[in-house]
Every structure is written in C-alpha cells, then in structure tokens.
Amino acid sequence: MQILIRICLPSGLVLSVCSKSEPVDERLIGAWHTTLGQWTLSFEPNADGHYRTTFNGPFTPPVETGEIEARDGHWQVRKDSGEADGGTYFFVHDDTVIFQGSKGAITWQRAGATAPAPITPLPAPPPTATTTPLGKPIQGE
C-alpha cells in the first residue's frame, strides 16, 4: 500500500509526503539459522529491505547481501551480485519459517529460539481382523 499526499502551499511550493508499507514482514526481521549438510547458514533480513546471508562450512564463500521484499507469503530477493530469486514462505510457528524458491525449500529457525518438540505421530489404528489366529475367516465379514 502506498499513500501519496500533496499539499500546495500559498507560495506555490508543493509539499509531498509518501508512505510505503514496510518491504519485509515484521515476523521475519532478525536472525535465522539453518543447516544444510556440512553447512550452517545465517540469514538476517532487516526492516529496511536489505538482507545478509553468511555461510559456514568446509570453505567460506563470500557473504551474500542484497534487497528483499517479503510480504503476504511471497518473497523476492535481488542480490548485490545481480542475481534474483523469489517464491513463497510460510510460518510453521513464530520461530520456524519455510522458504520455497527456485532451488527448493529451506526451513529456517529463529536464532536463539529453542527448537520445538518433535511432533509425535499418532499410533496406527489396530488392523482390522479378517481371520482368527488359526487363519479361519471371521463370521460376518
């Protein structure tokens, strides 16, 4: 959403005030971490629309910086190197977000957050018996 207000002053000067919504979903602001194989990545989107990603692993590639827009479940980055990417994101909960893009999905955990307890699957329902322990069909089946 963009708001443009123009005020004409008696002297003929025009005063303009522009207001633009923040480029990054406020829930994404801050430091995030993930692990991909031998690599640990840190991702830091800022409210002003800039971001920084660092990589720690078997060797150290350059820090990635650029601009990010992330609103309403859609994201787009323009790296300072000129490369662009985009896709969707959704929050599993406040401290875990999944970004889906051209290179696949990455799950990010908010830095300093405790990992959530693993989800325990429900036990499987008991199998429906169609035979007795001796292998004879159950009547009524």
Q: pLDDT tens digits for 22-69?
A: 899 999 999 999 999 999 999 999 999 999 999 999 998 999 999 999
Q: Which domain holds residue 51?
A: 23-110
CA angle (122 as vertex; 118, 127 as ends), nearest 5? 150
Quote the strand ranges of the chain, DSSP E: 2-8, 14-20, 32-36, 39-45, 50-56, 64-71, 74-79, 84-93, 96-101, 104-110
Number of domains in the chain: 1
Whether 2 is covered by a domain: the verdict is no
Q: Is residue 129 situated within a structural domain?
A: no
Does residue 123 lie in a domain region? no
Amino acid at 85: D
What is the rounded average pLDDT of the residues 128-134?
Answer: 59
CB 107 within 8 A of CB 42: no
* CATH at 80: 2.40.128.640
Contact 84, 77 (CB under 8 A): yes
3-class state of residue 132 by DSSP: coil
Q: Is residue 78 included in any domain, yes or no?
A: yes
Please report whether residue 45 resides in a domain: yes
Query: What percent of the chain is modeled with pLDDT above 90?
Result: 62
Confidence category of residue 19, pLDDT binned at 50, 70, 90:
very low
Mean pLDDT taken over the chain:
80
Q: Is the pTM of this model over 0.85?
A: no
